[in-house]
Amino acid sequence: MALFSFSFSSFCLTIFVIYSSLSLSAESRVSPIAPISSLISKTLFDSIFLHKDDNACPARNFYTYESFVEATSSFPAFGSTGCSATRKREVAAFLAQISHETTGGWATAPDGPYAWGLCFKEEVSPQSDYCDSSNKEWPCYPGKSYKGRGPIQLSWNYNYGPAGKALGFDGLKNPDIVSNNSVIAFKTALWFWMTEQKPKPSCHNVMVGNYVPTASDRAANRTLGFGLVTNIINGGLECGVPDDARVNDRIGYFQRYAKLFNVDTGPNLDCAYQKSF
């Protein structure tokens, strides 16, 4: 009996870690089993985002379950790669990261600080227009701001441009669509999650174990796990700093959501000792 006392979740985690040493393509392990709704029902979605539609949240009624499901249909590898636990863990990690980016929670908030994801749809009081004028491939359009918008808080012209090209809208001339169209908003977050931007791997490949660290990654202690996803998203500001409050907030969301999905979080939750890309 003791020989078989491990959980299926732990077994999948073992497979998840083994995958990280292989160079298989994501496509070779995409499961056609089920759409995202088989992993996360509307009931579960609503229990994750308990307060997103409160009057206190500026994004009230914007981030709907239906918009999320529709957006995922454009990214069939999301939540369908690997075994059941790996798929659930990826979805939990994605929802945790977008929750931190859009949080309305605070330490003593009702139901706790990690019940307040998706409260905002655009950055409050941006410090600049996020235009990198040195980027000639994706030149800024006069009068437009590329501040954080949507679940991942898409920022900078060099992200709006390629996101729009990939998703079928003009991200440079019409960045406001990300905070006006909920399906497009979710799609931009999923685009960022699924897209490799070298030297960074994609968040997706990290969470499904498809990430193969380079010599530079190993030297920088960029190890497989949720902490590496944080590094991809905002490592320049948050990683390499022990006990960073922003990193801890991301982890708190992930731990809560992993429990709701009934999976473990996997290894290396923080990026305290990782160098940023």
Percent of the chain with pLDDT over 70: 88
- pLDDT of residue 249 exceeding 90, the answer is yes
Compute the average pLDDT of residues 55-64: 98
Q: Cβ(258)–Cβ(89) under 8 Å? A: yes
- Straight-line distance from the first to the last Cα atom of the chain, in angstroms, rounded to the nearest whole number: 46
Count of CB atoms within 10 A of residue 102's CB? 29
What are 190-239's pLDDT values in tens digits?
Answer: 999 999 999 999 999 999 999 999 999 999 999 999 999 999 999 999 99
> Looking at 15-19, 77-81, 151-155, which range is the least confident one?
15-19
Count of CB atoms within 10 A of residue 17's CB? 14
Length of the chain: 277
Compute the average pLDDT of residues 103-114: 96
- pLDDT of residue 29 exceeding 50, the answer is no
Reported as half-sphere exposure (CB side, CA atoms, 13 A), residue 257 has a value of 34
What are 116-155's pLDDT values in tens digits?
Answer: 999 999 999 999 999 999 999 999 999 999 999 999 999 9
Q: What is the pTM of this model?
A: 0.89
Q: How confident is the model at residue 35 (pLDDT cuts 50, 70, 90)?
A: confident
> For residue 2, what pLDDT is reported?
33
In the chain, the domains with their CATH numbers are: 2-120+196-261 (1.10.530.10), 122-180 (3.30.20.10)
- pLDDT of residue 86 exceeding 60, the answer is yes
What positions carry a catalytic annotation? 101
Q: How confident is the model at residue 266 (pLDDT cuts 50, 70, 90)?
A: very high
Which is more confidently placed, 24 or 190? 190
Which is more confidently placed, 167 or 34? 167
Q: How confident is the model at residue 277 (pLDDT cuts 50, 70, 90)?
A: very high
Nearest to 234 by CA among 206, 185, 274, 195: 274
CA 7/CA 14 separation, integer angstroms: 11
